[in-house]
Structure 1
Amino acid sequence: MLWGFATLKCPARELFHRFSVQVLDRDLDDACPQVLSNIVWSFGTLGYFDDELVDKISSHVLVRGLDGFKPMEVSSMIWGMAALGHTNERLFEKVSEHVMSTGLEGFNAPKISIIAWSFARARFQAEDLFSLIEEFVVEKGMSSFNSQNIACILWAFAVFGRMTDDLLACAEEQIWSVGFSGFSDQSFVDLLWAFAASDLTGTCTHSGEDTVKLAAAYLRKRSIRSFSPKQLSTMAWAFARLGQFHDQAFYSLEQEILRRDISEFDTSEMTFIANAFRAYRNSRNIANMCNLSGIGIRLLSRLDAEESSATTVECNTPESVSDCELWPEETECEVFKKGEVFKAKVVEKHHKKCASVRSERLDACIPFQAC
């Protein structure tokens, strides 16, 4: 049931709360791995954090072990834990040991990238696991990785300062073959953050160009109206950090930021933006190109009018909280034997709120039945 609501991103906080109350009163021994992973994934997808419920499932898994979990169930569960900010070190250590014991057999591109992302989001260092992932990815290549998978992998390795030339070259091979059109806003920003945090612009293996320069040029084609203030400031920081002062990229960023109310940006975001555009203007001064470009002048004047941006503040790396999603098609919800967990009237009430959710899918995901 929860899987259906989470799949459609349908708000159902009351339903999830009632579910949690019922689970806390029950023994989890009858819940199969798929049910446990779907519960955590569903709560994580809708951002409904319940300390007691998550702690109970974590404790149960630690005692029960992961031997009966499929790769999809492991990745879905640990993704949900990370998305909810649940950082039980013993659980992450157990997942790391389990995944390593499999040699990544059965783990495809989405599952591998989600595992890496989850550990990075939780800031749980697992050096042996990441070494295994890197070795696996470099050997197999990234031809099966989509844009989100690539961004998740590079972001995760950059968080721990583990980006290597081999991994980067492997990712670039795929990026240059498919381009940036498939990247979501967050994936695009995560990718730029990963390059900048690692002080890498690319391996320069493609006609002397590098990947970050390609990304900057791509902004000429892409609308950035849907980007959040944090994403805009992170892009500006990334381009400036790497010395990629592409006129069109900074022009696009300036126009979008000027279009918005400055109150949308917090102090740190305005500081990163101001420093990035000052660096851009300085680069143009050095190149004696100020007379050719007025990019950044209006924006800096506007930011300087704000007390928070009047003085240049020393900034290092903006915090990156990636929002990598685990899509419904990457989880499973098989048909279980029907069981009565919620009263019919509760289900009916939420059916009306989300009429597009098919009743057979909701009934299929009622937990604590044989898998």
Structure 2
Amino acid sequence: MASTVPLHIPRFLSTIGRNRNDGASIKGDSSIVKSPAKRLNRISNSNSRPHPIPPNRTYVNQNKSITILSKNEDLQGLLSFKNDRVVFNEVNWSTLFNKLGRFKGRKDEIVGDERFKVLLEELEEIIDEGTPQAISNVAYSYAVLGVEDDYYFESINDENVIEGILKKGYVQDISNTVWAGSCLGYGMEKWICDLIVEGGRAQEIANTFYSVIQLEQNSQNSIAGKKLAEAIENKGASKLVKFGGGQEIGNVIWSMAQGKLECDGLVKGVAEEAERIVGIAKIMEVRIFDEIF
């Protein structure tokens, strides 16, 4: 697994969702996975509880064990793995949910298991200590398994969390999180519009859009792609044309075409910019000609 840099997420997250009466629910199922009242309090009290820190080797060995269970297709072992461990860091959480997400053919079995419901109750550790990859892996697994968790997605949809991820440039993590939240019906506009498109970073826009479209090609849900396309058309086309190179612009237009999305504004912007560049070139040619002769 790629190395990641921990995000320092503020403690105000403990106040998010305080008026909620429900916990994580299963998409398409009327049942609710209830979260105990102590769930939100654990973040604010986490500094006062004893938390022994073992050597890094312990976490590494746990990651290896999770991977072995996945290779052996031992779903029961994965569901029980956290219960048998005193300590579990954000990388272990990330790996565990990444592997659980690969059992999407058995999602009904997973989401109905009491051990999985216990895992959902403890997920604030990912948000409180999480890295971009950990946040992304859990979100992606939620989408694959059809698990809705208002607390989780409201927490990671905070601007401070998003900015921390975007600053590190983890494009795959960004696109996976946007796709997952959109598939489950959570508004990811802050991710898509305010910080990705308005930031004007052409490479990031192109790579994120490409990844989102690739993820959605085998899915009937293209909410993330549509919202990203709308954001580019309405706010990002001029910046993309101005600051992006041919490769980035070409990738975005190709991605829009793959997703059967409108890109008239971007194409028009490219055409106008091309005319401007040609016009500048012609002026320079005249000046050079005059200087020579």
TM-score by length of 1: 0.43
String of CA shifts for 1:116-164, please: whole Å, max 9, x gaps.
Answer: 01111343532234422321124x5713112111111111111111132
- Residues 252 and 150 of structure 1, relative CA distance in 2, 3 Å threshold: farther
The structural deviation recorded for 1:73 is 2.3
What's 1:213 paired with?
A: 193
Q: Does 1:98 align with 2:81?
A: yes
How far apart, in 2, do the equivalents of 1:75 and 1:259 lie?
38
1:143 matches 2:128? yes
Deviates more, 1:143-152 or 1:240-249: 240-249
The reply on whether 1:273 has 2:256 as its aligned counterpart is yes
- Where 1:227 maps in the other structure, the secondary structure is helix
Of 154, 171, 183 in structure 2, the residue corresponding to residue 169 of structure 1 is 154
Q: In structure 2, how many angstroms separate the alpha carbons of the residues matched to 1:226 and 1:243?
A: 11
Aligned: 1:112 with 2:93: yes
Counterparts of 1:191 and 1:177 in 2: how far apart (Å)?
13
Which residue does 1:134 correspond to in 2? 120
Judge conservation of contact 1:151–1:187 (CA < 8 Å) in 2: yes
Match of 2:203 in 1: 223
- Counterpart residue number, 1:38: none
Higher relative contact order (CA 8 A, sep 6+): 1
Q: Which SS does the other structure have where 2:155 is aligned?
A: helix
Change in CA separation of 1:76 and 1:171 when aligned onto 2, cut-off 3 Å: farther
Aligned pair in 2 of structure 1 residues 235, 97: CA closer, same or farther (>3 Å)?
Answer: closer
More helix by share: 2
C-alpha spacing 1:146/1:164, structure 2 compared with 1 (3 Å): same
Confirm or deny: 8 A CA contact 2:126 2:134 kept in the other structure: no
Distance (Å, rounded) in 1 between the aligned partners of 2:137 and 2:200 = 24
Measured after TM superposition, the shift of residue 178 of structure 1 is: 2.5
Distance in 2, matches of 1:146 and 1:107, equals: 14
Q: For residue 180 of structure 2, what is the amino acid of its counterpart?
A: A
Q: Report Cα offsets for 1:319-359 as digits up to 9, x if no partner.
A: xxxxxxxxxxxxxxxxxxxxxxxxxxxxxxxxxxxxxxxxx
Task: Return the offset for 1:241.
Answer: 3.5
1:64 corresponds to which residue? none
Asked whether the equivalents of residues 71 and 107 of structure 1 are also in contact (C-alpha less than 8 Å), the reply is yes
- Supply the AA of the counterpart residue of 2:167: S
Q: What residue ranges of structure 1 are gaps of 5+ in the alignment? A: 1-5, 8-68, 203-208, 282-293, 300-371
Q: 1:250 Cα deviation (Å)?
A: 5.3
Aligned-partner Cα distance in 2 for 1:81–1:297: 52
* CA spacing shift, 1:77–1:141, aligned 2, 3 Å: closer
Identity of aligned residues (%): 12
RMSD: 4.3
What residue in structure 1 maps to residue 63 of structure 2?
75
Aligned residue-pair number: 203
Deviations 1:274-322 (CA, angstroms, capped at 9, x unpaired): 26563465xxxxxxxxxxxx324589xxxxxxxxxxxxxxxxxxxxxxx
Query: Could you say what secondary structure the match of 1:142 adopts?
Result: helix
* 1:154-303 → structure 2 map (5 Å cutoff): 154-173=139-158, 175-176=161-162, 178-202=164-188, 210-217=190-197, 219-221=199-201, 223-224=203-204, 227=207, 230-231=210-211, 233-234=213-214, 239-242=224-227, 245-247=230-232, 248-249=235-236, 259=247, 273-274=256-257, 276=259, 278-279=261-262, 294-296=265-267
Within 2, Cα distance between the matches of 1:116 and 1:152?
6
Conserved 8 A contact 2:93-2:126: no
Displacement of 1:187 after TM fit? 0.9
